Amino acid sequence: MQKITPHLWFDKEAREAAEFYVSLFPGSKIINVTRLIDTPSGDCDLVSFELAGQPFMAISAGPLFKFNPSVSFHIKCGTTQEVDAVWQRLSPGAKILMPLDKYPFSERYGWLADKHGVSWQVIHAGKAPVLQKFTPVLMFVGDVCGKAEEAINFYISVFTNAPDGKAGNANAEVLARYGKGENPDKEGSVRYARFSLLGQEFGAMDSAREHKFAFNEAISFIVPAA
């Protein structure tokens, strides 16, 4: 089955970043590098690569869009030692968003933006089997805060209603909601939810705290079509 592929937009560093990520994770490789000549952004490198068997793409196409934490990637680890090892490899030159520590939702967790600006949440998966190493996570802030659940339901409807869609390949589960008094977040809004599209896991959350960023084209998703 073809998979939904995260697509990362870099200024000039697509190949460098892909090679860096591939070096960090076993079972990872560069698939293809194509030079696109004389595009509106000049000459661009288009890089296809896999991380632990999951497909990614990256492009060097100018400084039009900047990465931010509205889209991040969970890296699920089977042990706390693996969390520490991944964190150590990703952290040089990184901006720490949540320090590596023990949290109520995980024995070992940290959130950073790496030296290229891409956000990663490194997390100990606990006793749950790691079926998907990297999970894209969408954070709904600002004008779209509180709309995570609505967005999830919309994405589920799109994929289950596609001509070859299968209901079993698209589903969702809200794992935690904000409670009363957890201001500024509204009671009942999504603290964290997971959903699957074409059998692939995604995550979503609302955050009413002040964030000076929003979704943009720096990270998009390529959807396979028959």
Query: Can you name the CATH fold of 71-214?
Result: 3.30.720
Q: Which H, E and C letters describe the chain, residue by residue?
A: CCCCEEEEEECCCHHHHHHHHHHHCCCCEEEEEEEEEEECCEEEEEEEEEECCEEEEEEECCCCCCCCCCEEEEEEECCHHHHHHHHHHHCCCCEEEEEEEEECCEEEEEEEECCCCCEEEEEECCCCCCCCCEEEEEEECHHHCCCHHHHHHHHHHHHHCCCCCCHHHCEEEEEEECCCCCCCCCCCCEEEEEEEECCEEEEEEECCCCCCCCCCCCEEEECCCC
Taking only Cα atoms into account, the Rg of the chain, rounded to an integer number of angstroms, comes to: 18
Note down pLDDT in tens along the chain; length 226 residues: 568 999 999 999 999 999 999 999 999 999 999 988 887 777 889 999 999 999 999 999 999 999 999 999 999 999 999 999 999 999 999 999 999 999 999 999 999 999 999 999 999 998 888 889 999 999 999 999 999 999 999 999 998 866 554 545 678 888 999 999 999 999 999 999 999 999 899 999 999 999 999 999 999 999 988 6
**pLDDT given for residue 40 in this prediction:** 75
Q: Give the other-Cβ count within 10 Å of 177's Cβ.
A: 17
The two tokens of residue 7 are: 């697509």
**pLDDT given for residue 224 in this prediction:** 85
Q: Are strands 134-140 and 200-206 parallel, antiparallel or unpaired?
A: parallel
Q: Are 17 and 118 in contact (CB under 8 A)?
A: yes
Q: Are 120 and 95 in contact (CB under 8 A)?
A: no
Q: Are 184 and 167 in contact (CB under 8 A)?
A: no
| Residue 93 bridge partners (DSSP) | none
**pLDDT given for residue 109 in this prediction:** 97
Within 8 A by CB and 6+ apart from 85, the residues are: none
In the chain, where are the structural domains located?
5-60, 71-214
Rounded CA-CA distance 207/97 in Å is 14
Rounded CA-CA distance 36/95 in Å is 31
CATH of 5-60 among 3.40.50.12160, 3.40.50.1110, 3.40.50.300, 3.10.180.10: 3.10.180.10
Q: Are 99 and 121 in contact (CB under 8 A)?
A: no
